[in-house]
Amino acid sequence: MKFMIKKIITLVITLFFISIAAFLAFQIIPGDPVLSLLGMEATEGQIEAMREQLGLNEPLLIRYGNWVLGLLKGDFGLSYHYQIPVANLLKDKFPVTFALAGLTILFMFLSAFPLGLFYARFAEKKIGRVFQIINQTIMAIPSFFLGIIITLIFGLLLKWFTPGKYISYTESLTGFFGYLIAPAAAIAIPKTAMIVKFLQNSVLAQRQNDYVRTAFSKGNTENRVLYVHILKNACIPVVTILGMMIAEIMAGSIVVEQVFGLPGLGRLLVASIEARDYPVVQVIVIYIAATVVIVNGIVDILYRFLDPRIRVEA
Amino acid sequence: MLEVKHLSISFPEKERENKVVLDSSFTIEKGEILAIIGESGSGKSMTALSIIGLLPKDARVSGEVLLENRNLLDLSESERRDIRGKKISMIFQEPMTSLNPVMKIGKQLEEPLLLHTNLSKEERRQIVYQKLEQAGLKDAEKICSYYPHQLSGGMRQRAMIAMALVCQPELMIADEPTTALDVIVQEQILKVLKKINQEEKTSILFISHNLKVVKDFCDRILVMQDGKIVEEGTPEQIFYAPKHSYTQKLLDSIPKRVKRPEIHLNTPKVLEIEHLNVFYPDEKQGLLKRKKHQVLYDISFDIREGEVVGLIGGSGCGKSTLSKAILGLLPWKEGEIKHYTDFPQMVFQDPYGSLNPAKKIGWILEEPLKIQKKFTKEERKQKVIMMLEKVGLEEKYRRRYPRELSGGQRQRVGIALSLILGSRFIIADEPVSALDVTVQAQILKLLLQLKEEFQLSYLFISHDMDVIAQMCDRVFQMKEGRLYPVESGGNYGKL
């Protein structure tokens, strides 16, 4: 419990520093949002009025303070580009990204563990070597390319979904998730291959340990040793990489969103950077940073659950 | 009860076969304790693993291992599994790594029952509690709720023993079960095994490299060398009338207590420590400030010229911390450490890790001389050759790499390295613990010989009482960071 409180305090402090960095970065980088909003022909007066309107003339500290207070209240400010609240802008994008991330993570969990264990179990057999070659190939395929292939095969040839015809969750929930299956697979498959490789390595490393020999000396079968004794130990390093991947997935995949025409966070981020729509970019940066920090916190907690030795030290 | 006939084990290696056990035959009677003694590579562990059927998969085995008139080597894997843990169980050297670190003790202990019997959860629990108590662990219920790292080394090994007993096996194989433990705990574990052997009539096959350990413990001893059984007999026969020269050599290697003249009180000191307290920074950190905790408490002692001071104690007692503090490697300390000689040098347990694997021995030995910048190239070379000769290595070893040397030879290089700058005070931290007994005897002899020749003083750190007894003029025991003198001629067994 004490550990949890400590963890949350560090989390808050980390987020505080991230918010400073996210805020300051956009004060320093070149390019004037007012100019990109009004165009190059804007008069001096127009620019000044716009600056005033956007609150850009206030001192730095006050602007930061206002911004953070706004964030805490759920008021993310006004988009420079669209002139609507950032919150409204994000409202439509988050469900898409969350649904995509959720589906991707579900795919990963459902496939990575059985496949990794299968691979480890038969690593020295012929089937294991064949599996290794396939796995390594899949690992090397970039998500966007996989996305294109999936679109081609399942979209254009088999017509399981209509490429580019995104169905909003407001229209039909089943249609929405149906459409997301293909992009989720495109993101999940190479990552799954990586986790499979990682899990297999970890299992094989664990196999060298003395406690495995002890387990066999008690009369355990190969499978029981694997599932009862090795698995939990082997998961400890895998959790780290899994955490990193989940954070990455939660941030939204720009490329895959582009390939499948999904109106997610990734695409909004790219568009906002191009338009120098800083309030939007800042909020997305904070979101991504917070996701990474929170997922890492969860990983730390998971560690303690998996490894009793860590529990005692703290 | 168990009969091993013409057992041979080999491993295929490129062209030829690497034979580790050659045509070995022996029997174990019901209720008997049989010890197999041998040094590393003698095939003793492979013999044990072949009986329980846990040899590496590429091992080639021939001969017979007969249990109840069945040849275990002919059985299918599933038939062997039925025997493993039920009729034959095994305990291992390192109880920490041999237990699953993420599984509670209770769950690990009941596993053989789960696999081999149809007992209910409650019945299994009762048996586990009973065996834990038999192995000398009180408060079984609490122990069962612990993870392995929450127990001490001795408790872990007791838990291992209890685990090996839950199915009441005919035979328990113990592969160096005391080697990783402190001397004091070692004796307790042997007692527990003996007690169980008498109460349950369980036969024990005890594998060890240490003849002395098994002397009062076993009924019969087999001596193995290079995969062959060279001698077999009762402890009396082996100890007092050994027939084979190798057995004799093993017996000669047992350190013997030597009576040495007392050191005069006015002999100059080489080291003086007064009221030393050492701290370590805490692992767990406050948000800003770093806390510390004390590891050594009020240490005071001195070492005089030509004296060997022994430091004995269990793992984690602070022995190594003290040696680091003397070398000035620990910043968090109070009190005084006075050196009256050039800075002390260290000899480590396994010099392999401290010898640069990419450099030849000659280069490694020359390096401290180069740093001194006082010697010409020729002088350096002559010094190295001289030093090698002193530690019993020929000149040709200058051109060898560390990996080409045996453990004993590497330790000789380690000793040469500590002496090459003319240091007269050496801290030897478990210098022979990683070596086979016969090699250990040679290194100890060398250390004493060098002491006479160069008028050296040693701080000799070891967990082995016999080694300490052979080497030291005065002995201190370390316990939980405090130092206690052990009276000269005192009985270390009562520490």
pLDDT tens-digit series, residues B215-240: 889 999 999 999 999 999 999 999 99
Task: Pick the closest to residue B325 from B267, B377, B278 (CA basis).
Answer: B278
Collect all residues of chain B within an 8 Å Cβ-Cβ radius of residue A220.
81, 85, 111, 115
pLDDT (average), residues B138-152: 91
pLDDT at B390: 92
* Interchain contact, B92 vs A210, CB within 8 Å: yes
Q: A207: nearest CA in chain B?
A: B100
* Interchain contact, B52 vs A217, CB within 8 Å: yes
A85-110 burial, b for 16+ CB within 10 Å, e for fewer? bbeebbeebebbbebbbebbbebbee
pLDDT at B353 exceeding the cut of 80? no
Name the CATH code of domain B255-344+423-495 (choices 3.40.50.300, 3.40.50.2300, 3.40.50.2000, 3.90.320.10): 3.40.50.300
State what percent of residues in chain A have pLDDT above 90: 24
Bridge partners of residue B222, in order along the sequence:
B36, B232
Asked whether the domain spanning B255-344+423-495 has the same topology as the one spanning B2-253, the reply is: yes
Confidence bin at B248 (pLDDT 50/70/90): very high
Confidence bin at B372 (pLDDT 50/70/90): confident
> Which of B103 and B260 is assigned the larger pLDDT?
B103
Nearest to A312 among B89, B111, B150 (CB): B150
Confidence bin at A160 (pLDDT 50/70/90): confident
Q: B78: nearest CA in chain A?
A: A221
State chain B's mean pLDDT as an integer.
Answer: 88
Q: Give chain A's contact residues with B (Cβ, < 8 Å).
A: 9, 209-211, 213-221, 224, 229, 232-233, 236, 306-309, 312-314
Task: Pick the closest to residue B11 from B70, B53, B59 (CA basis).
Answer: B59
pLDDT (average), residues B93-97: 84
Q: How far is A218 from chain B (nearest CA, A)?
A: 4
* Interchain contact, A312 vs B283, CB within 8 Å: no
pLDDT at A15: 87
Residue B331 DSSP one-character state: S
* Interchain contact, B147 vs A306, CB within 8 Å: no
pLDDT at B493 exceeding the cut of 50? no
Q: How far apart are CA A186 and CA A144, in angstroms?
A: 7
Under DSSP, is residue B100 helix (H, G, I), strand (E, B) or coil?
A: coil
Collect all residues of chain B within an 8 Å Cβ-Cβ radius of residue A11.
none
Collect all residues of chain A within an 8 Å Cβ-Cβ radius of residue B101.
211, 233, 307-309
Torsion region of B393: left, alpha or beta (phi above 0 gives left; psi -120 to 50 gives alpha): beta
Cβ pair B36, B176 in contact under 8 A: no
Q: Give chain B's contact residues with A (Cβ, < 8 Å).
A: 52, 54, 81-86, 89-90, 92, 94, 97-103, 111-112, 115-116, 147, 149-150, 160, 163, 283-284, 287
Q: Any idea where the domains of chain B sit in the sequence?
A: 2-253, 255-344+423-495, 360-421
Confidence bin at B130 (pLDDT 50/70/90): very high
Q: How far is A228 from chain B (nearest CA, A)?
A: 9
Q: How far is B81 from chain A (nearest CA, A)?
A: 5
What's the CATH superfamily of B2-253?
Answer: P-loop containing nucleotide triphosphate hydrolases (3.40.50.300)
> Cα dihedral sign for B65, B71, B73, B78?
negative
The CB-side HSE value for A126 (13 A sphere, CA atoms) comes to 0
DSSP H helical segments within B61-174, as ranges? 77-83, 95-98, 105-116, 121-134, 140-144, 153-165
pLDDT at A313 exceeding the cut of 50? no
pLDDT at B16 exceeding the cut of 50? yes
pLDDT at B107 exceeding the cut of 80? yes
Spatial neighbors of A84 by CB under 8 A, at least 6 apart, are A78
Interface test with B, best of A214, A233, A303 (most B CBs within 10 A): A214
pLDDT (average), residues A48-55: 76
pLDDT at B165 exceeding the cut of 60? yes
pLDDT at A146 exceeding the cut of 70? yes
State what percent of residues in chain B have pLDDT above 90: 52
Nearest to A217 among B54, B82, B283 (CB): B54
Q: How far apart are CA B109 and CA B459, in angstroms?
A: 42
Cβ pair B26, B229 in contact under 8 A: yes
pLDDT at B494 exceeding the cut of 50? no
Integer CA distances (angstroms), B28 to A139, A200, B49, B65, B86, in order: 55, 41, 15, 11, 17
> Which of A279 and B6 is assigned the larger pLDDT?
B6
pLDDT (average), residues B364-386: 90
Q: B77: nearest CA in chain A?
A: A221
Residue A209 CA to its chain's centroid (Å): 34
Place of tokens 């040098």: B345
Interface test with A, best of B52, B97, B100 (most A CBs within 10 A): B100
pLDDT at A314: 40
State chain A's mean pLDDT as an integer.
Answer: 86
pLDDT in tens, A249-271: 887 778 888 888 888 888 898 88
Cβ pair B144, B206 in contact under 8 A: no
pLDDT at B188 exceeding the cut of 50? yes
Confidence bin at A225 (pLDDT 50/70/90): very high
Q: B111: nearest CA in chain A?
A: A218
Collect all residues of chain B within an 8 Å Cβ-Cβ radius of residue A305.
none
Collect all residues of chain B within an 8 Å Cβ-Cβ radius of residue A229.
100, 103
pLDDT (average), residues A168-182: 86
Collect all residues of chain B within an 8 Å Cβ-Cβ radius of residue A233.
100-102
Task: Pick the closest to residue A136 from A144, A125, A128 (CA basis).
Answer: A128
Cβ pair B189, B158 in contact under 8 A: yes
pLDDT at B343: 73
* Interchain contact, A219 vs B98, CB within 8 Å: no
Collect all residues of chain B within an 8 Å Cβ-Cβ radius of residue A214.
90, 92, 98-100, 160
Collect all residues of chain B within an 8 Å Cβ-Cβ radius of residue A221.
81
DSSP H helical segments within A122-230, as ranges? 126-140, 143-150, 173-207, 210-217, 222-224
pLDDT at A31 exceeding the cut of 80? no
Confidence bin at B30 (pLDDT 50/70/90): very high
Range with top average pLDDT, A135-144, B163-172, B274-283, B472-481: B163-172
Confidence bin at B284 (pLDDT 50/70/90): low
Fold for the domain defined by A90-142+187-313: MetI-like fold (1.10.3720)
Q: B286: nearest CA in chain A?
A: A6
Collect all residues of chain B within an 8 Å Cβ-Cβ radius of residue A9.
287
pLDDT at A70: 86
Q: Any idea where the domains of chain A sit in the sequence?
A: 31-75, 90-142+187-313
Q: Could you give the ipTM of this predicted complex?
A: 0.77
* Interchain contact, B98 vs A211, CB within 8 Å: yes
Place of tokens 């060890």: B208
Collect all residues of chain B within an 8 Å Cβ-Cβ radius of residue A219.
81-86, 112, 115-116
* Interchain contact, A216 vs B163, CB within 8 Å: no
Q: How far is B25 from chain A (nearest CA, A)?
A: 23
Do the strands B474-479 and B269-281 form a parallel or antiparallel pair, or are they unpaired? Answer: unpaired
pLDDT at B234: 94
* Interchain contact, B92 vs A309, CB within 8 Å: no
Q: How far apart are CA A134 and CA A125, in angstroms?
A: 15
Neighbours of B337 (CB within 10 A): 15
pLDDT at A168: 85
Integer CA distances (angstroms), B181 to A67, B148, B190, B434, B437, in order: 62, 15, 11, 14, 17
pLDDT in tens, B390-420: 999 999 999 999 888 888 899 999 999 999 9
Q: B284: nearest CA in chain A?
A: A314
State what percent of residues in chain A have pLDDT above 70: 97
